[in-house]
Homo-oligomer: A and B are copies of this chain.
Amino acid sequence: MSFTFALEATAGAARAGTLTLPHGTVPTPAFMPVGTHGVVRGLSAGDVRGTGARIILGNTYHLHLRPGESIVGDMGGLHRFTGWDRPMLTDSGGFQVFSLEQLRTISESGVEFRSHVDGTWRRLTPERATEIQWDLGADIAMAFDHVVPGGAPRELAEEGMERTLRWLGRCREEHERLAEGRGGAPASQTLWPIIQGGTYDDLRLRSLEGVLARGPWTGIAIGGLSVGEPKPVMHRLLELLEPELPREVPRYLMGVGFPADLLEGIARGVDLFDCVAATRNGRHGTAWLPTGRINVRGAALKGSTEPLDPECDCEACTTVSRGYLRHLFVVEDMLGLRLVSIHNVRFLVRLGEQARARILDGTFDHWRREWLERHRSRAVPAEP
């Protein structure tokens, strides 16, 4: 009973629920900050707890290279290693190794790739990705998928989708083998499948069908979106999949997490999101606001005693001024990067909290429209 999902309310396709995992509960919809190397860039576990995040993500590819899953395993797993005691999810490494375009070869058995750190050749297969994630010990492991580039032609998208289904079977077998090794002890990790199929409706539906045929699952992810396709295409595919997805498990839209994308995804039935944009933008001095976004380096902030976002309750907005934040970027002090990262993560976590409250009280649709209108109203667009 460690992996349950209780659906509490809906508003159209939007859902409010509670995901229960070995390390705690996650009220949904929810944004998951990305802890690439076992750390949400620049933030301590306490900083991330302070943003209200209930679950974070770790990258299997990066953790495999440094410090290596055996080190993490020997140190007691990713939770003990990082000091993060709430739920955690690891991706499978698929997205990263398929991004190493010049540095990898793909076959049915898996992917050979060169480490971007030391140039050594390594190998990731469905079985290895599953074993590595088992050693890392997150609450949720992801199946190893064949990721194709955004805008991939139909044949390539189909090949990746079909291979992802075959690999899903191998991941599942390996995961069951590892779980049996616990000798009847309760499972500490669950495995989630990933729907692929590029921008092709029929491939997406076949992918979902294939995933369900290999189930049951405690959660289902949608991969290969937000990789350059127009927003309306992503929205169409989410709307296509939504009625076919089982209601009783959470849906995770991978790699999506600009503020407006979060709300649009929630409106289309998505429960979980992750994205590095919050911390990446934070390090570059771009802060999200209810009214769009702001460049913290901008001369307009010089001398301002106003908070970054008067509606926000994060550490940056409650302890320092816009003028001080700008000063930190001007003198290149890393505290500025940290504070704006904290703000952006809190901004997305709070957006999930707000959406959940609005779904529960029946005002979601109206609120979402007004929120998006305000967020997109400024001359400076809210998204790149």
Contacts and interface: CB of A to CB of B under 8 A. Distances in A.
Interface of A: 37-39, 41-46, 62, 66-67, 71, 74-76, 80-83, 302-303, 305, 315, 319-321, 323-324, 327-328, 330-331, 333-335, 337-339
Nearest to A38: B327
Contacts of A66: 327, 330-331
B333 A334 contact: no
Contacts of A335: 39, 42-44
Contact of A81 (B81, B302, B324): B324
Contact of A37 (B37, B41, B333): B333
29 contacts: A37-B327, A37-B331, A38-B327, A39-B333, A41-B333, A44-B315, A44-B319, A45-B319, A45-B320, A62-B331, A66-B327, A66-B330, A66-B331, A67-B302, A67-B323, A71-B302, A71-B323, A74-B303, A75-B305, A75-B323, A75-B324, A81-B321, A81-B327, A82-B320, A82-B324, A83-B320, A83-B324, A334-B334, A334-B337
A236 B155 CA distance: 83
Contact of A305 (B80, B327, B328, B333): B80
B37 A319 contact: no
Number of copies: 2
Contacts of A67: 302-303, 323, 327, 330
Contact of A303 (B44, B46, B71, B320): B71
A61 to B, nearest CB: 13
B323 A334 contact: no
A182 B45 CA distance: 47
A42 B332 CA distance: 9
A83 B334 contact: no
Contacts of A315: 44, 46
Nearest to A44: B335
A337 B331 CA distance: 17
A335 B37 CA distance: 12
Nearest to A81: B324
Contacts of A327: 37-38, 66-67, 81
Given A74-B303, A76-B305, A81-B323, 7 more contacts: A41-B334, A44-B319, A45-B320, A46-B319, A75-B303, A334-B337, A334-B338
Contacts of A331: 37, 39, 62, 66
A324 B80 CA distance: 10
| Nearest 7 interchain pairs by C-beta | A37-B331, A334-B334, A42-B334, A71-B303, A67-B327, A39-B333, A83-B319
